[in-house]
Structure 1
């Protein structure tokens, strides 16, 4: 499948059915997902991948597979949850533990911002972060997001930090 964005070390592409096994190492891992309502059940991963692929086909923007160029391995996911109109989307990223601390999340998030700018419809990107996820706070600040306060989230039953980036 064709890469949508390529950086020095990674490429982003739409998810394929064959990525379900790799997705177990991030979305299916309790430790990786501890700040995000826990791991996705492994048997639900193929549907998750299909939903993100369908979103890309329908809206031109979605959450993507992050592929390490050197190995060809899917090491994580990064991109945008689209819940309504494209003017406002949510940035998310999740990476396999073996990829932590290597700058991949920052590199992938920057690449996704490039996709959002190219899309032309996206005006505001937001991200919510568990107060205890210090690495995510650092990443968002590093790529230009601005702290916008806290907000109560029913799904996590807690106050979370909210960051935003305006593209227009």
Structure 2
């Protein structure tokens, strides 16, 4: 059983485990999912998904106490995507992110799950701020970051993309 991080009315947010490999492959498989992420081609089969879980997420849970978390739909117990935080060494900051299978786009899951993660972080994590980077053409993700209360702080170029950077200062944390 994976450690549950938090819940909403519709979702359970928990750590990934190796049993989630087929779900991780499933939500990464559609080409449009990774269109703006820079991760295209990283999850081409279940073995790749197992490697992501084992070598990235499980390692991050051990090293930092957090990472990308599984988003589980309560009504079906199905892993539909990920949400949460990543200690992003390339930007020397903690990033908030999410990814869902297209069947679950436009239903509020990205906003709902990440608002729950932000609430969890304010209460249980020692984070002063989180960043959110989004490709400028990804208008739906820009809307999500704004709904999370993030503020635009700048723009930069990376790997042929123009990205907007957003920031959220975490206030009211309990120590």
**TM-score normalised over the length of structure 1:** 0.90
Q: Secondary structure at the match of 1:36?
A: coil
The one of 99, 107, 128 aligned to 1:102 = 107
Provide the residue aligned with 1:56 in structure 2.
61
Q: What's the offset of the Cα at 1:80?
A: 1.2
Question: C-alpha separation between the residues in 1 aligned to 2:93 and 2:126?
Answer: 9
Provide the residue aligned with 1:22 in structure 2.
23
Q: Secondary structure at the match of 1:5?
A: strand
Instruction: Return closer, same or farther for 1:95/1:128 CA change in 2, 3 Å cut-off.
Output: same
Does the aligned pair in 2 maintain the 1:88–1:123 contact within 8 Å?
Answer: no
- Measured against aligned partners, the alpha-carbon deviations of 1:39-74 in whole angstroms (never above 9, x if no partner) come to 422232111112212211332111000000010000
Provide the residue aligned with 2:169 in structure 1.
166
Q: Secondary structure at the match of 1:102?
A: coil
Q: What's the offset of the Cα at 1:110?
A: 0.5
Equivalence map 1:76-155=2 (5 Å): 76-84=81-89, 88-153=93-158
Does the aligned pair in 2 maintain the 1:19–1:74 contact within 8 Å?
Answer: yes
Question: C-alpha separation between the residues in 1 aligned to 2:29 and 2:95?
Answer: 21
**TM-score normalised over the length of structure 2:** 0.87
Q: Secondary structure at the match of 2:31?
A: coil
Q: Secondary structure at the match of 1:4?
A: strand
Does the aligned pair in 2 maintain the 1:145–1:164 contact within 8 Å?
Answer: yes
Provide the residue aligned with 1:9 in structure 2.
10
Q: Which runs of 5+ in 2 are unaligned?
A: none
Does the aligned pair in 2 maintain the 1:127–1:164 contact within 8 Å?
Answer: yes
Structure 1, 18-27 or 59-68: larger mean CA deviation = 18-27
CA-based RMSD of the aligned residues comes to 1.6
